[in-house]
């Protein structure tokens, strides 16, 4: 089976969690699955920007990205964070190839049109999964940072959840899993919703039950499902050990997002 796993938040900062996620992915490959890992790195980028004397600003969960912020994103996401994940997988004997979405023109971006303008924030316009397939044929894991190349020759910062959905759609993944800092999507009562239909997302957004970074995440879930990805789940990173058995056993953690 083909899996796309998106990793972000504290799991990228916490060595123990990062290693646990890497172990789970290595186990999936040993079981015969093809896995692509897509990652963010917002915490690391915010910290680097602060060191550079730049204040981070977010609108609807997306980072406002001027040219200097974009250049820092390329450095931090495609460099520091990407190579740390390649190393984590390697420590478990799993070969991995670190890439940005711009390498091999795997993903092409266009500027995201918003009001107010977000700067060098992009959305995926096209994808070519041949490099992912080539890496899988060698028994390795492609590790993708959420940077894509625009048709104008500029790099764009792409929301990692949106890139994960685009990757899952492009390679016709059987499952897309978001490993997150939170236990799942919480409903109006504060409890984690075991199942969430895409038809419920608009009302939850309108009532401000979901906000911030969960907005682009659920938008990505919806897009992946509507584009044919069979299964989408939001899972706490602490539960990464269940990944190898995700499609074979009853999983009680996190939120399963459904088409209807």
Question: Residue ranges for the binding site for substrate?
Answer: 41-42, 63, 157
**Are 11 and 132 in contact, with CB atoms under 8 Å apart?**
no
Q: Looking up tokens 């990805």, which residue turns up? A: 229
Question: Is there a contact between 224 and 165 (Cβ–Cβ < 8 Å)?
Answer: yes
The token pair at 109 is 């971006």
Q: How far is CA 254 from the centre of its chain?
A: 16
Q: Give CA–CA dist 187/70, Å, rounded.
A: 34
* Residue 172 contacts residue 137 (beta carbons within 8 Å): no
H helices present in the chain, as ranges: 10-13, 15-30, 42-51, 67-75, 82-91, 130-137, 160-170, 198-206, 214-226
User: Residue 69, preceding bond cis, omega within 30 degrees?
Assistant: no
Binding-site entries: 41-42, 63, 157
């Amino acid at each position: 089976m083909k899996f796309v796993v998106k990793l972000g938040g504290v799991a990228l900062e916490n060595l123990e969690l990062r290693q646990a996620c890497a172990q789970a992915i290595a186990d999936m490959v040993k079981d015969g699955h093809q896995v692509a890992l897509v990652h963010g790195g917002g915490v690391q980028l915010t910290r680097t920007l602060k060191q550079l004397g730049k204040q981070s600003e977010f609108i609807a969960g997306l980072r406002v990205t001027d040219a200097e912020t974009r250049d820092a994103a390329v450095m931090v996401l495609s460099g520091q964070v990407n190579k740390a994940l390649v190393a984590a997988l390697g420590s478990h004997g799993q070969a991995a190839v670190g890439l940005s979405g711009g390498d091999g023109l795997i993903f092409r971006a266009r500027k995201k049109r918003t009001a107010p303008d977000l700067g060098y924030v992009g959305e995926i316009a096209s994808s070519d999964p041949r490099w992912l397939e080539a890496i899988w044929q060698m028994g390795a894991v492609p590790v993708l940072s959420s940077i894509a190349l625009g048709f104008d020759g500029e790099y764009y910062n792409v929301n990692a959840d949106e890139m994960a959905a685009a990757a899952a759609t492009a390679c016709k993944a059987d499952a897309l899993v978001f490993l997150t800092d939170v236990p799942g999507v919480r409903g109006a009562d504060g409890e984690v919703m075991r199942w969430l239909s895409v038809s419920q997302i608009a009302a939850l957004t309108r009532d401000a039950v979901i906000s911030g970074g969960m907005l682009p995440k659920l938008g990505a879930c919806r897009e992946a499902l509507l584009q044919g990805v069979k299964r989408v789940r939001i899972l706490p990173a602490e539960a990464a050990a269940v990944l190898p058995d995700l499609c074979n056993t009853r999983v009680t953690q996190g939120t399963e997002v459904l088409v209807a």
